[in-house]
Each structure stands twice: as structure tokens, then as C-alpha cells.
Amino acid sequence: MRLSAAHLAKPVLHGYFRSSCSWRVRIAFALKGVEFDQVPVNLIKDGGQQRTEQYRTINPMQQVPAVEIDGITLSQSLAVIQYIDETRPGPRLLPADPKKRAQRMISDLIASGIQPLPPLSDHPQVGAEKVQWAQHFIDRGFRALEPVLRETSGMYCVGDEISMADICLVPQVYNAERFSVDLEKYPTIKRLNQTLLEVEAFRASHPSHQPDTPEELRA
């Protein structure tokens, strides 16, 4: 295959240090050893830089992440991760075995069942109840996830290989901690999160040391 300039360029991630969906993509790049550039989109500043007309041309949903890669622009973190997995060498992020691969269910539970709701709580219309709102939906999801992970996990979410489920879990636990969800109720989730935070790809991509991480939140 002849590679065009677009294929040779580094991918560009439009993201925000604290966005869980952006962190998912950073983990996937790190696991695959892919270098990428980051363009920060501050979700708070200026009323939300994702809401500009210019950013709309990159992601019509006006959310992060969006990734320019191989001459195409993708949004939706799980689609991005799948594309990275299918086009880059390195460890598989979606297992080959169909039953393990079907545990993509865990990623969907997090990305579609839990994650969409707490970010809504950032909208001004939601007002003072936003912490309770976020805690409610994270707790509801974690109550479902805990018994699932008890069945599927080994060292990681699905057996002993890191997969897309792990990529979704860790940023979701980070969000849960931000909203003071009591993780003691979820010992499997807590154990997996602690194990994964020791893995270099998860550490390197952590929100506490991204180019756009504010000084006071740096670690």
C-alpha cells in the first residue's frame, strides 16, 4: 500500500485533560505506542470551546474527543479506539476470541449506560443537584458493573489481557472519585482500577499531567 502524507502524519487528538472520553483515546494510543499531537479544547473556558463554529467543523456533536488520523476525522471514543486497534500493531484492544470480544458489553455499559449522564450535570440548567445527579447514575451503573466484572475479570476486566473494557473503566472511576462515589461498595472495580493505574499507558495518559492540565491539578 502506498502511504499518503495523511497516513504518515501523527494523529491529532482534540481533547480535554479531564474528559473521560479523551482519556480513553490517550490510553489506546499509549498502549499501542502511537505518538500523537494534542489540541486542547477547554470545555469550561469561554463558555466551552467545543461550542465554537470552528470546532463544529471538526466534530458536529461539539464534544471531545475528535481525532484526525490517516486523512479522516473521527469522533466517538469507542469507534476511535476500534480504528486504532485495527490499524496499528501492538497488543489487541478487542480480543480475538468472540466470547471475550463480546465483553465489549462492559465498554458499552460504561460509555452508553453511565458516562452520558454525569456530563449533562455540567450543564447550567441542571443547577445545584448536579453532584447527586452524577452520583445516582454512576452508582446505578457500578451496581450493574460489579457483578459483571466479578465474572469476567482476571488480572484485568476481561481475563488477563488489557482490553477496551479497561480503557473505559479507569476514566470512569476517576469521574466517580471526582463526584465522591463510595468505591468501597465495589471491591472488584476498585481492585481493577488500582491494578490498571500501575500500568505505564494509564499513568502516562492520566489527566494530572496532560499539556492542558492546570498548574494546581498537576501531579
Residue 145 Cβ vs ligand GSH, minimum distance, rounded to whole Å: 17
Q: Which is nearer to ligand GSH, 48 or 159 (CB)?
A: 48
Provide the pairing of β-strand 66-69 with 37-40: unpaired
Q: Which is nearer to ligand GSH, 77 or 188 (CB)?
A: 77
Distances (CA, A) of 175 to 6, 60, 67: 34, 25, 22
* Residues 156 and 196: beta-carbon distance below 8 Å: yes
How far apart are the C-alpha atoms of 200 and 206, rounded to whole Å? 10
Q: Which is nearer to ligand GSH, 76 or 195 (CB)?
A: 76
How far apart are the C-alpha atoms of 207 and 182, rounded to whole Å? 21
Residue 3 Cβ vs ligand GSH, minimum distance, rounded to whole Å: 27
Binding residues vs ligand GSH (CB under 6 A): 19-21, 43, 48, 50, 63-65, 75-78, 111, 119
Residue 5 Cβ vs ligand GSH, minimum distance, rounded to whole Å: 27
Q: Which is nearer to ligand GSH, 43 or 170 (CB)?
A: 43
Distances (CA, A) of 104 to 53, 111, 135, 157: 34, 10, 24, 10
Residue 65 Cβ vs ligand GSH, minimum distance, rounded to whole Å: 6
Q: Which is nearer to ligand GSH, 98 or 124 (CB)?
A: 124
Residue 31 Cβ vs ligand GSH, minimum distance, rounded to whole Å: 17
Nearest residue to ligand GSH by CB is 63
Distances (CA, A) of 126 to 25, 43, 120, 134, 177: 28, 16, 8, 11, 20
